[in-house]
Amino acid sequence: MPSIKKIVIIVFLFSGILLSAITTGAQVPQEITKSLKTGNSKVLSEYFNQNVELVVLENDNVYSKAQAQQIVDNFFSANSPINFTVSHELGREGSKSVIGNLSTKSGTFRVYFLLKQNDGKNYIHQLRIEKLEESDE
């Protein structure tokens, strides 16, 4: 008979493997973080839902995918990105919230986006880009 200690260890190992497999599937697509780092609105918009709740500086509304791409492209033109780092990720089944910092030549911005999975693909349903105050940085 295996000891209780061995059984507990085996259960923890299998739980860890299962948890690892689940969280790996919930990763934020690298193309999204890379497009934020490089200011590539075209690649970023490939992840936009058909309608996106968008807050980018003075633009605050629900926009079509094409309108949202244009607004984000204008933002990147005025604020050339240097780097993007993810600071927080929260997820549950079928969705993930991401908060990060976007460093640009004109300052630092807080970025928040909500991903929801549909037919196995992640779509951005909400995107917020807000200027950080000097004391927030």
What DSSP line would sit under 82-129, residue for residue? EEEEEEEEEEETTEEEEEEEEEETTEEEEEEEEEEEETTEEEEEEEEE
Q: Which helix (H) or strand (E) holds 52?
A: strand 48-56
The fold of the 28-136 domain, in CATH, is Nuclear Transport Factor 2; Chain: A, (3.10.450)
3 vs 108, higher pLDDT: 108
31's tokens: 């193309």
Q: Which helix (H) or strand (E) holds 54?
A: strand 48-56
Give the number of other CB atoms < 10 A from CB of residue 114: 18
pTM, rounded to two decimals? 0.77
Q: What is the pLDDT of residues 76-107, one digit of tens each?
A: 999 999 999 999 998 888 889 999 999 999 99
Domain ranges of the chain: 28-136
